[in-house]
Structure 1
Amino acid sequence: MDYFSQSIKQAIRTVPDWPTPGVSFRDITTVLQDKTAFRKLIDAFVHRYHGHKIDAVAAVDARGFVIGSALAYELNASLVLVRKKGKLPFDTLVEDYELEYGTASVELHQDAFKPGDQVVLVDDLIATGGTMLAAARLIRRIGAEIVEVAAMIDLPDLGGSGKLQKEQLKVYTVCSFDGE
């Protein structure tokens, strides 16, 4: 793990037994509150995609918006919001996905991308991968191409990054908490 990844990982607060006993919640607010850690985080993404043709950053509701907006600005790309169902005012495409306790849906404006647009899909973390997979399916339905799925944190024990890779998606995360 490089210096930037290690310093960002150290800035993430772990809250034991929240929201339920046995869960170690990875709280990213401490990274956002630390101006040096937040800059390092955005710089890690910017350096990753600098020099690539990126037309848009698709950011997943809601913490992905924080990372996605800063990244889109730095890459001179458009910002597209992948929202929870019922939050977008125009014609949308909807994709359902499974949760451990039911189903949920995300949506995207039908005109969010042009066919062939090069897109980075970003969120704060990859856990089970359901939200990111649903968002990726929406982006592909419009005809845009996903350069990479990116997140600050990977929780590989939950299998999400593996599911994304099985769907032929490249995955980049700044740090991971594997078995921790």
Structure 2
Amino acid sequence: MKTIVMKMWLVVAAALTVTLTSCSDDDDNNTSGSDKMTYSAEIEVSDDVLSLATVNLQEYGNSGLGAATQLTKTKYDWSKTITSYPAKVGLALSIEPKNQELTKEKYDITVVYKVTMKDEKGNMKGAGVDYSKKLTGVKAADVPRILENIKRQLTNVKALVDFTSASDFTQRSKSEI
């Protein structure tokens, strides 16, 4: 009799283990997309900015800021999908005005830097970045001051992100690294 009762308990325990394991697997399938984030950056600069300043991008990753890459095109798009945490992700945009003679009477100064962070369903997460400076017909005498101002502002743009998880992250600027 004791043997029959023990065998029944073993069967019940095995059934519960299979049931609990099955429930656990179902829960994982329901939340698998919640940890995926996509960081995207769109950058636009005018031809005049490219001729008047060195425009650099630095990728930010788990080892910190990487080497700077000089922009040679007026538009640049970049994205990275984050699936494991902790993670550091981002781009730092910088401008270094060139010391050169200004040959035109007026310049068009455009610097647009947009960053979005979206979950797998496309929902916006975090504040993101939306830096935009579009000036047309800038007098040559005003160009150095405007470029220096943009340089200073870009240093403080919070486009570098330290992710602890998909829902817990801290936005940083280049000056905070």
Tell me which interval the TM-score lies in, with the shorter structure as reference length: under 0.3
Tell me the TM-score normalised to structure 1 length.
0.23
Tell me the TM-score normalised to structure 2 length.
0.24
Which of these two proteins has the greater Rg computed from alpha carbons?
2
Structure holding more strand per residue: 2
